[in-house]
Amino acid sequence: MCQLLEKSEDNVKGCGSTICKRQASSDANQKWPDGTVFQYRLVGVLPGSDTATMESAFALAWEKWAQMCPTYKFQKATGNNANITISVVSSNDKDFAGGQAAGFAQKGPDAYLKGYVKFRNSALPSWSKASIHTLFLHEFGHVLGLGHSANKAAIMAPIIDKMTTIRPLTSEDQSRIKNFIASKTAAKNFYSNSNRPQTPQTPQRNSQRKPYNDNQGQNTPRDLNPIRQDESQIRHWRRV
C-alpha cells in the first residue's frame, strides 16, 4: 500500500507508513517459480495518461527488475492467459479505504499463481510516465515478493522518494530481490492437477467374506459385517 503525500512537484511521496502497516516489511513466504511469464492485463487508464504510455512505463520498470530476475519474463497477455491484473481504481476500492495511498499490490503469488497491482486514479491530478514508472517499479517489487524497506532511499521504502522522476533500483533493492529469489522455495499452483486431492476410492467389497450357508448347521460362517449382523437380529426378532 502506498500513500502519496504531495508537497511539491519534486517531492511527491509514494507509500505512507501508517497505511503501509497492511503491507508489512516482511517478504512473501514463497517466490514465483523459475520461468514464470508475467502476463499482464491492464484495466483502466490513469488521468493524464493513455494505455500506450502506461504500458511503456511498465516495460521500463520491468527492465530494471529483469536484471535481477533473469528467469522471469514480463509481457502483455493475449486472450485469457493473464496472471497479473493491473487496474486503475477509485478511492472507494477496498484496498484504499480510508487512506491516501497511490498504489497497492499483492505480495508474492497467490494460490493460483496470480497477482495484481492497483493504481488509485485520484492520487495525482495528472499521471506522468515517470510517476507511473516509479510507482509501478515499487509495486512490482511487492508482486515479486518483497516487503517494505526501512531504508528511505530504497525504491521499496514505504514512502517513495522523488516518485515523479524515473528512478533506478538502489543497490539495496537489487540485493534484496537477489537474496529473496535465492533463498525462497517456489510456490506451486494449489489448484493444479498435481495438487488436487486424490479422488476417494470406491470401497472394495469384502472378498474375504464367505457365503452364508444354512445347511452348515453350527458351522455356519459368521457374517463379519456388524450392520448385517444387526439386520439379521432385527429380522429374527420380527419373526418371533
Torsion angles phi and psi, residue 62, rounded to 5: -60, -40
- How distant is the alpha carbon of residue 111 from its chain centre? 7
Q: Does residue 143 bind Zn ion (CB under 5 A)?
A: no
Report how far residue 156's alpha carbon sits from residue 137's, in angstroms, rounded to the nearest whole number: 9
Scanning 1-9, 79-87, 90-98, 165-173 for contacts with Zn ion by CB under 5 A, the matching segment is 1-9
Scanning 16-24, 38-46, 85-93, 181-189 for contacts with Zn ion by CB under 5 A, the matching segment is 16-24
For Zn ion, how many residues bind (rule: CB under 5 A)? 3
The cell numbers describing 213, all together, are: 450357508
Report how far residue 176's alpha carbon sits from residue 156's, in angstroms, rounded to the nearest whole number: 10
- Of the two residues 79 and 98, which places its CB atom closer to Zn ion in the complex? 98
Of 82-101, which residues contact Zn ion (CB under 5 A)? none
Q: Between β-strands 12-13 and 5-6, what pairing exists: parallel, antiparallel or unpaired?
A: antiparallel
Cell 524497506 locates to: 149
The cell numbers describing 182, all together, are: 535465492
38 with 147: CB under 8 angstroms? Answer: no
Other CB atoms closer than 10 Å to residue 56's CB: what's the count? 13
- Of the two residues 97 and 230, which places its CB atom closer to Zn ion in the complex? 97
Judged by CB under 5 A, which of 4, 12, 15, 102 binds Zn ion? 15
50 with 173: CB under 8 angstroms? Answer: no
Write the single-letter amino acid at 51.
T
- Of the two residues 11 and 75, which places its CB atom closer to Zn ion in the complex? 11
C-alpha distances out from residue 127 to 61, 95, 151, Å: 15, 20, 26
Q: Does residue 4 bind Zn ion (CB under 5 A)?
A: no
- Of the two residues 87 and 189, which places its CB atom closer to Zn ion in the complex? 87
Q: Does residue 102 bind Zn ion (CB under 5 A)?
A: no
| HSE (side-chain half, CA atoms, 13 Å) at 208 | 4
Q: Does residue 54 bind Zn ion (CB under 5 A)?
A: no
Torsion angles phi and psi, residue 75, rounded to 5: -155, 170
Residue nearest to Zn ion (CB): 15
We find the least distance from the C-beta atom of residue 142 to Zn ion, in angstroms, to be 6
Q: Does residue 19 bind Zn ion (CB under 5 A)?
A: no
We find the least distance from the C-beta atom of residue 160 to Zn ion, in angstroms, to be 8
Q: Does residue 28 bind Zn ion (CB under 5 A)?
A: no
Q: Does residue 160 bind Zn ion (CB under 5 A)?
A: no
- Of the two residues 16 and 109, which places its CB atom closer to Zn ion in the complex? 16
Scanning 21-29, 30-38, 54-62, 91-99 for contacts with Zn ion by CB under 5 A, the matching segment is 21-29
Scanning 10-18, 58-66, 67-75, 85-93 for contacts with Zn ion by CB under 5 A, the matching segment is 10-18
The cell numbers describing 111, all together, are: 494460490
Q: Which residues bind Zn ion (CB under 5 A)?
A: 2, 15, 23
